[in-house]
Amino acid sequence: MDLYLKDKIALITGSSRGLGYATALQLAKEGCKVAINGRDEARVKNAVEKANKETGTQAVGLVGDASLPDVPAKLVQQTVEAFGGLDILITNTGGPKPGSIDSLDEVAWQAGIDLCLMAHVRLIKSALPHLRKSSAPSILTVTSLSVKQPIQNLLISNSVRAATVGLTKSLALELGKEGMRVNSILPGWTETERVAELLNARATANQTSAEEEARQQAAEIPFGRMGKPEEFANAAVFLVSPAASYINGVMLQVDGGNYRGIF
Ligand SMILES: NC(=O)c1ccc[n+]([C@@H]2O[C@H](COP(=O)([O-])OP(=O)(O)OC[C@H]3O[C@@H](n4cnc5c(N)ncnc54)[C@H](OP(=O)(O)O)[C@@H]3O)[C@@H](O)[C@H]2O)c1
């Protein structure tokens, strides 16, 4: 099946590792020109080198914290300068600080709002003038299964990401009139460094081991295992591709069936 991604231009924020990197790599394999982003310069450089070596494309690396007010516009501008336009925007970042109502303070909440909501708002707002010039514009927000099924000790994610799916659905209606598609993926437990960190924190709190916490978590998933970043990426790449031309306003769980609700 042709995804019609050849020579499309994509900015994927939070993509120097994890779900974002797997998606950038897969898009590059499909012939996209990709901009890879993260806060750590060495990690971004390494990701770009790996992607270029594996795919033979010329990805660019953009260093910057997407949760800061003035960075999203710069990331968009740098992508357009490097490649001459923008067709695909994937808004992704790291996860917010874990914790409960007792442990999380005002600073953590505000940082979580900037990271999990405002980064998406600012990136989309900055990208719109360029996406509007594309023949197949597409936006994908990366949120979490937590918007449908709260996750233990992730109160900020459980709360703030609901606003981001509200944003996604609203924009699907608003921008759909212009032929622009806006969707979200709600990842379930997927093996990345973020998950390793969360499991380590749980193990410390519960006086267990990270392996034991991983085993317990996997046991709740019908497949009995966590997802691989490539499994997330395959869904993401299809959703942003012109092959998904009639899919708009979808909040897609990629969670191995972990979500317990019917709808
Ligand atoms: N993996 C899962 O099971 C899962 C499940 C549900 C939801 N999610 C959510 O999906 C997103 C991606 O998860 P992941 O597991 O791939 O995380 P990850 O392994 O921590 O990777 C996050 C990526 O984003 C970059 N990043 C972090 N904060 C950033 C910022 N403020 N601005 C720009 N780049 C930033 C990181 O590089 P630097 O650290 O160098 O900036 C890294 O490249 C997160 O929001 C996570 O909470 C993940």
Separation of alpha carbons 190 and 91, rounded Å = 18
Q: How far is the centre of ligand 1, averaged over its atoms, from the C-alpha of 114 (Å)?
A: 14
CATH number for the region 9-190+227-254 comes to: 3.40.50.720
pLDDT per position as a tens digit, 204-241: 989 999 999 999 999 999 999 999 999 999 999 999 99
Task: Tell which atom from ligand 1 comes closest to the C-alpha of 151.
Answer: 6
The answer, yes or no, to whether residue 38 has pLDDT greater than 90, is yes
The answer to whether 241 and 4 have CB atoms below 8 angstroms apart is yes
Average pLDDT over residues 185-194: 96
> Would you place residue 152 in the very low, low, confident or very high pLDDT band (cuts 50, 70, 90)?
confident
Separation of alpha carbons 96 and 200, rounded Å = 16
pLDDT per position as a tens digit, 98-125: 999 999 999 999 999 999 999 999 999 9
Task: Tell which atom from ligand 1 comes closest to the C-alpha of 157.
Answer: 47
Q: How far is the centre of ligand 1, averaged over its atoms, from the C-alpha of 21 (Å)?
A: 9
Pocket (CB within 6 angstroms of ligand 1): 13-20, 37-40, 43, 65-67, 92-95, 115, 142, 144-145, 187, 189-190, 192-195
Q: What is the pTM of this model?
A: 0.98
Find how far residue 166's CA is from the centre of its chain: 16
Task: Tell which atom from ligand 1 comes closest to the C-alpha of 197.
Answer: 20
Q: How far is the centre of ligand 1, averaged over its atoms, from the C-alpha of 93 (Å)?
A: 5
> Would you place residue 137 in the very low, low, confident or very high pLDDT band (cuts 50, 70, 90)?
very high
Closest CA to 160 of 117, 209, 210: 117
The answer to whether 181 and 138 have CB atoms below 8 angstroms apart is yes
For the chain, the domains span 9-190+227-254
Separation of alpha carbons 263 and 260, rounded Å = 9
Q: Residue 63 pairs with which residues in a beta bridge?
A: 38
Q: How far is the centre of ligand 1, averaged over its atoms, from the C-alpha of 13 (Å)?
A: 9
Task: Tell which atom from ligand 1 comes closest to the C-alpha of 96.
Answer: 47
Q: What is the DSSP string of the chain?
A: -----TT-EEEESS-SSHHHHHHHHHHHHTT-EEEEEES-HHHHHHHHHHHHHHH----EEEE--TTSTTHHHHHHHHHHHHHS--SEEEE---PPPPB-TTT--HHHHHHHHIIIIIHHHHHHHHHHHHHTTSSS-EEEEE--GGGTS--TTBHHHHHHHHHHHHHHHHHHHHHHTTT-EEEEEEE-SB-SHHHHHHHHHHHHHHTS-HHHHHHHHHHTSTTSSPBPHHHHHHHHHHHHSGGGTT--S-EEEESTT------
Q: How far is the centre of ligand 1, averaged over its atoms, from the C-alpha of 177 (Å)?
A: 31
Q: How far is the centre of ligand 1, averaged over its atoms, from the C-alpha of 222 (Å)?
A: 24
